[in-house]
Structure 1
Amino acid sequence: MKRRLLFGKFLYLVLILLGVTAHAATGPEVAQLLNTRYSNTPQACPGNQAAYFCSGVLVSGLMSGLPIRFWEHTDSAIALGARSFSYLRSDQGIRSLTQDSGMVFSDPFTAISQGKSVDVLCAYPLVASIQGNYGCGTGGTADDPGSCAALGVIDAAGWLTHFQQQGQQPALQCSLSSRIAAQFRASLLAHEQLGGSWVTQPNQLQVRNWNAEVPGQVPVQALFYDTSRSGGLRVAQRNQRDYHAATGQWLPILRLDLAGAEGIVFGFNLQDQLYVGYEVAQRLNARYFDTATTCPDGRAPFYCNGVVLRGTESTSAFQSWNPSPRSEDINGVSASYVRADAAMSLPAWPQGLLFKALDAPTSNPLTVRCLYPFDGYTGALTEACTGRMECTTLEVDSVESWLYWYSTTPYNSCSFAPSVHMVQVLLDLRNTYAHPPYHWNEFVLTPWPQRIPERLPIDALFYGVAYNPGDGRAGARYIQDDYFKTTGRFWPIVHLRLDATDGQVFTYVPDDQCLDDSCPPPVSLMSAESTKAWFEEHGQ
């Protein structure tokens, strides 16, 4: 009774402290908190509670492909009344888990402060597949299901002896108490004293099932994916989407690297989060409606405002971020510049790439070589910028002088220099001259090396109505899937609506993203011959 009173007083103080300091932690804050818990290695917690109450990190692997949401219980978990977790701490040599993604639970003290519950029932030094009494085996009690005590095993030495007697078969191990601090510590010591390859394997804790019908009350603190394995990020994003749809809250996705130096095993990257697309769309809209004639440093506006996009075919025949062979032949990758005053209503292709502002820090900056006020038909040239004529040679430096030469042949235009003045001439011309059918402008970029998608300054992928037919949403999803399978990283997809009247030219919807195991390329509505001819003429 005295012990209960002391713990009650301690818990009261903990709740007051947590109630004062509690706030909605950001992703980086959650990662820092978990790394702190991972690094702390007390033998027990205040109130003589087991170490998991205030240190270490409780994680549970989540399989992909299940017909239920991650906080819901499988039939086997319902039958057991519990779910399996692993306990990660810096004094445990665990270097791998059973799944490549999963969820992180709050420690019990934090959960209690939030009106939630984490009920750890027993602890195995190794992963076990044991039935009976919440998966803790037979011999325990309703209050303390651990099975070791009934066998006279209450410390690490006793557990190791029993494990040897069972032929070192994990399926025959007994479970130690998670209620008694000394026995829980014994499970940690036994794991490390096993030695050899056993030490790098995960342990297992059984946690009582929670009410899956109220996901907001599940004490989940974050989602994670293992950086040493492939595919985990997409599973984590799918779970992040499902939790947000059910609760309106975004759980952070964390990177887990169990070989992390100095206890830094959890990390946060904004680009991993499914919700990053909202920020990207907001940033793109801001640039679209910024019509300043120059950048603050005096350079041409495309360095800091407007959006440079590259429409492209979406096909398994090539990877859409690579310059086409024709682009390399003519030393020019075709792109377009969209801005509120650029008078452009259709891109050439219904899907493609949206580049960051060209002054953004990047390991592979893009260079604008020249400009055309409308489709420059660069694919038909021997050189994208000099193959026809440069405007400086003809002294074309105004709307009037351009109209003098090209009013009846807009696709034969000379190439504009990428200067502040000529960008303004291009914009003025597009708001003066009646647009021809191929009315998008063409910005010619210096080709970048092949197969460097992770180094390209790309903000997002886009889909929308375009001159060429096709299922742009499916096309963008295929490119996104191809990028993920190539790099393990995420480019968000935004919907491009150049005719939008609500100020949302770029919009982001989580359900537009490829979160399935695979997203196939769309059925092409153009024949291979037509597509080839288009590239050869237009240079797209």
Structure 2
Amino acid sequence: MKRIFIPLLLFLILGACTRTEAPEVAPTVQARQATLATVADRLIARYNSAVTSCAGGTPAFNCSGVLIRRVNYDPNSDFWGYSADEARVGSATFSYIRNGLNSSSDDITSGYVLMDPDSAKAAGKLVLKARCIFPFMADAQSNSRAMHGCGFANRPDPTPLPDDLSNCATLAVPAVTPPAWIKNFNEHGSSRINQCSLSTMVAAQFATSLTVRASYPDLTNLYGNEVLFEPWETQAPANLPIEAIFYNASKEGSLVNAQALKHAYRTKTDIELPIIRLDFGTGAKRFVLREVDQEDGWTVAKRLNERYANTTGECPGAKAAVYCSGVLARAISYSTSYKAWNPNPGSAQPEGVSFSFLRADVKTLAMFRDKPAGIIFRELEYAHNAGLTPVQALCIFIDDGATDRRLDKGCGAHAKHPTGSASCASQGITTFDQFRQHYLSIANLSTRREHECSLAIEPVPFMLSIESRRQLVTGSESVYHRFNELMIEAWPMDIPSRLPLDTFYYVAGESSGDGLRQAKEIQKDFWRSTDGLIKPVIRLNLAASAGDWFTYQRDEQAY
């Protein structure tokens, strides 16, 4: 099934034809960003709209403000459903947010945004029915309120139920204007549990629910409002009027939960919901949609497995295979003394940074020095297309190249072999037979890697490195032969948000058992060092069966 990006007010109607030609090219980063910007602009406009009623005199929520529902990811239940208490009472809780009405946001972590009724109709989605609104969170489901949570506590339901379930208008002295509601609220101890409910059918009453919040700044700071909605059919989630997933920018790690919600919905519906960053610290521009937030850990793991399995010999534009295939991984330990994504300032080779190139046809038995954690970069071509700082691959060795004592950023001659260890190209070594003769000319395994020559990041020599490793290295010779070494030119320090970082990894089953902890610490450090960016922690298992080399687990994240 073709995935649909939901944020448009009107969905594209998909044709039923079956394609037999090459698969569609994925949308470019720029195209996705344009779509996300449209969603953000629409939500910002609704958020800043301060109308008291909509067309036809309907309440303001029909055309202004934003309705949100707080939900957390649970692998054992569908977030688009409702709780047992909500099912028992027959109403589900949402909140209505609009400029000037909000709480401190401490009660908001993540959840989803509801389409306004007109947008839902236009998109062919269900139009959910609002039952009533409380100016402050009333905990309606847990307080034994009648009339599906809109009535008084411990009262029987009237028979039949009225169309309008709100009860402020039914009081002996109706409390439907701001002064009357405030008077009634004060008479009942200014307790949010004792407040009466206002109508979601009468525009003036709905407006009252918004106006009275300003009279209670302490409550307003602590609590949002509560809008009760009639339950919906949960077995057809694709029909629900969900516009986006949101997360609170001030809540550390809430993005991880939002990404899990997106993944769960996509798995059931094949619909790609956008993720919105809800930022209460940016004035009127509360909604920001960032391309970097949209990808969840499951998607990253899938892409890594696809890259690992891709054994192409050349990338488009006559570029080496590393530009579009394989996985660039750097083994690194977590420390409070440095940032894992920076080049090592104390390195003996400050101009070059060591990575390993992992691929299904590259015999990789372990990571550098058995370090249990590290970072993974996107394929080299990605940075150019995504507007990030590109990194430059310099050369590759078929095992550990002892690059700390080499010239030319780790790609040139080694101090112990100033002539024989220069780059392969400079010595005229271009074929497998030539490379084999040179490589095996040193019998001592411990010094062979110091004499080894580096291969260029070009299609033919790069594939020569893979073929030579396959035929000349078993991986059991020494700890230095269990991986290859690819040198990348050192990039500027302290630019984490500009790097083509893909993920943080830990090695499955490593002996110290400390890899996951270190990867999670790096993940947290990255969040703190950027504008709330999240990269997933991925489990790396080099001995796994095909397609399972990289896996993502929600419960292995730092948040």
TM class, shorter-length = 0.7 to 0.9
Return the offset for 1:223: 1.4
Match of 2:400 in 1: 375
**Letter of the aligned partner of 1:334 in structure 2?**
S
Which one of 514, 519, 525 corresponds to residue 479 of structure 1?
519
Q: Secondary structure at the match of 1:47?
A: helix
Instruction: Provide the residue aligned with 2:363 in structure 1.
Output: 345
Query: 1: distance between equivalents of 2:107 and 2:293?
Result: 25
Written as runs of structure 1 = structure 2, the 5 A alignment for 1:242-261 is 242-261=264-283
1:231 aligns with 2:253: yes
Partner of 2:54: 45
Q: Tell me the equivalent position of 2:28.
A: none
Give the % identical residues.
24
SS of equivalent residue, structure 1 residue 198: helix
| Offset of residue 39 of structure 1 | 2.5
CA RMSD of superposed structures (Å)? 4.6
Contact 1:337 1:443 survives alignment (8 Å) = yes
- Alignment equivalent of 2:441, drawn from 391, 408, 415: 408
**Structure 1 residues 392 and 328: alpha-carbon distance in aligned structure 2, compared to 1, 3 A threshold:** closer
Structure 2 residue identity aligned to 1:229: K
Return the offset for 1:169. Answer: 2.4
Q: Which amino acid aligns with 1:291?
A: E
- Per the alignment, do residues 424 and 495 of structure 1 end up closer, same or farther by CA in structure 2, a change over 3 Å counting? farther
Call closer, same or farther: CA 1:290–1:189 in 2, change over 3 Å. farther
Go from structure 1 to structure 2 and tell me whether the alpha carbon gap of 1:146 and 1:315 turns closer, same or farther (over 3 Å shift).
Answer: same
Matched with 1:126 is 136
Q: Is 323-332 or 227-236 further displaced after alignment?
A: 323-332
Residue 239 (structure 2) aligns with: 217
Match of 1:109 among 118, 122, 126: 118
Per the TM alignment, residue 86 of structure 1 is displaced from its structure 2 partner at its CA by 1.0
Corresponding residue for 2:486?
443
The separation in 2 between residues aligned to 1:91 and 1:474, in whole angstroms, is 47
Pair 1:516-2:555 in alignment = yes
Map 1:377-392 → 2, pairs under 5 A:
377-378=402-403, 386-389=414-417, 391-392=421-422
**1:167-246 alignment, distance < 5 Å:** 167-195=189-217, 198=220, 201-246=223-268
Give the residue type in structure 1 aligned to 2:139: S
Q: Which of these residues, 147, 153, 169, is aligned with residue 149 of structure 1?
A: 169
SS at match of 2:96: strand
Question: What is the match of residue 347 of structure 2?
Answer: 328
Q: How much does 1:440 deviate?
A: 4.5
User: SS at the partner of 2:185?
Assistant: helix
The DSSP-based 3-state class of the residue aligned with 1:245 is helix
Which of 117, 126, 151 is the aligned partner of 1:137?
A: 151
Partner of 2:101: 92
Distance 1:306 1:472, change over 3 A: farther
Alpha carbons of 1:90 and 1:290: their partners in 2 closer, same or farther (altered >3 Å)?
farther
Q: 1:338 to 1:419 in 2, by over 3 A?
A: same
Residue 204 of structure 1: CA displacement? 1.6
For 2:42, the equivalent position in structure 1 comes to 33
Match of 1:428 in 2: 464
* Corresponding position of 1:491: 535
Match of 1:5 in 2: none
**Which letter does structure 1 place at the counterpart of 2:275?**
I
Contact 2:543/2:549 (8 A) holds in 1: no
Alignment match, 1:530: none
- Distance between the aligned counterparts of 1:317 and 1:195, measured in 2? 41
- Given that 2:537 and 2:557 are in contact with CA atoms closer than 8 Å, whether structure 1 keeps it comes out as no
Cα deviation for residue 95 of structure 1 reads 4.4
Structure 2 Cα separation of the partners of residues 20 and 167 of structure 1: 44
How big is the shift at 1:258? 2.7
Determine the structure 1 residue equivalent to 2:427: 396
SS in 2 for 1:328: coil
Q: Select which of 6, 12, 30 maps to 1:23.
A: 12
How far 1:472 moved relative to its partner?
13
In structure 1, the residue matched to 2:300 is: 277
Tell me the secondary structure at the aligned position of residue 234 of structure 2. coil
2:364 counterpart letter in structure 1: L
The CA deviation at 1:153 is 0.9
TM-aligned CA distance change 1:162 to 1:517, over 3 Å:
farther
Structure 1 residues 295 and 144: CA distance shift in structure 2, 3 A = same
Between the aligned partners of 1:283 and 1:42, the Cα distance in structure 2 is: 50
Contact preservation (8 Å) 1:370, 1:417? yes
* Paired residues, number: 486
Q: Which amino acid aligns with 1:259?
A: G
Indicate how the Cα distance of structure 1 residues 196 and 277 shifts in structure 2: closer, same or farther if over 3 A, else same. Answer: same
Show CA shifts across 1:409-457 (max 9, x none): 342324538575xx84464365368312327532234566888754542
1:393 is displaced (CA, Å) by 8.9
- Greater Cα shift, 260-269 or 283-292: 283-292
Q: Which AA in structure 2 matches 1:289?
A: T
Q: 2:395 & 2:12 partners in 1: Cα distance?
A: 51
In 2: Cα distance, 1:404 partner to 1:66 partner: 56
Q: How many angstroms does 1:333 deviate by?
A: 3.6
Q: Which digits, 9 at most, give the CA deviation of each residue in 1:299-352, with x for residues without a partner?
A: x84884555622537889999945797972454542234679xx6232633975
Is 1:291–2:330 an aligned residue pair?
no
Q: Counterparts in 2 of 1:47-66, with a 5 A limit?
A: 47-63=56-72
Match of 1:16 in 2: none
1: CA distance, partners of 2:513 / 2:231: 39
